[in-house]
Amino acid sequence: MITTKLLMIDDEEGFVSALSKRLAMRDIEVIPAFSGQEGLAKLNEDTSIDVILLDVKMPGMDGIETLRRIKAAHPIVEVIMLTGHATWETAIEGMKLGAFDYLMKPCEIDDLITKLEAAKKRHGEHLEKILEAAGKELRDKRAR
Ligand SMILES: [Mg+2]
């Protein structure tokens, strides 16, 4: 099992705290944020965050706008959208905007963990490619 950190952006405090407790039992630490603004601020503070669970329906800045801002500032952070049945089309829109996947609320803990691990794996591969490209560029510069 992975030990990992996860930023969870959702306006339902009860849902966040219940899910946080269940994830803690699986060695996953949840950093809670109850609005898009708070989520963005926490993401800027903590560079070790690589995966985000993001609620679609929030008052003020909604999930789609939050996703746009996350992707603009942190393009390789992976985002899993959380949606109710009424807003699943918005989750699909999120996928077009670069979200990794989406989950229907209330979500099964095992589904969530499977998706988290997949998102984390993709983030790691993506990061590796970037480092590889940066290393190659450095070697090319030295060779010139
Ligand atoms: Mg909500």
**What is the pLDDT at residue 3?**
59
Which of 30-44, 73-87, 105-119 has the highest average model confidence (pLDDT)? 30-44
Q: Strand order of the sheet with strand 101-104?
A: 28-33, 4-9, 51-55, 78-83, 101-104
27: left (phi over 0), alpha (psi -120 to 50) or beta: left
Region 4-143: CATH code: 3.40.50.2300
The rounded Å distance from CA 26 to ligand 1 centre is: 24
Q: How far apart are CA 29 and CA 26, in angstroms?
A: 9
**Size of the chain, expressed as the number of residues it contains:** 144
What's the CA-to-centroid distance between 12 and ligand 1, angstroms?
6
Q: Domain map of the chain by residue range?
A: 4-143
> For residue 54, which of 42, 143, 46 has the smallest C-alpha distance?
42
Q: What separation in Å is there between the alpha carbon of 58 and the centre of ligand 1?
A: 4
What's the pTM? Answer: 0.91
56 Cα: distance to centroid of ligand 1 (angstroms) = 6
- Read off the amino acid at residue 130: I
- CA 75–ligand 1 middle distance (angstroms): 23
- 31 and 8 Cβ atoms separated by less than 8 Å: yes
Give 34 Cα–ligand 1 centroid separation in angstroms.
9
Task: Read off the pLDDT of residues 77-110 as tens digits, 9 standing for 90 and up.
Answer: 999 999 987 788 888 899 999 999 999 988 899 9
Whole-number Å distance, alpha carbon 144 to ligand 1 midpoint, is: 54
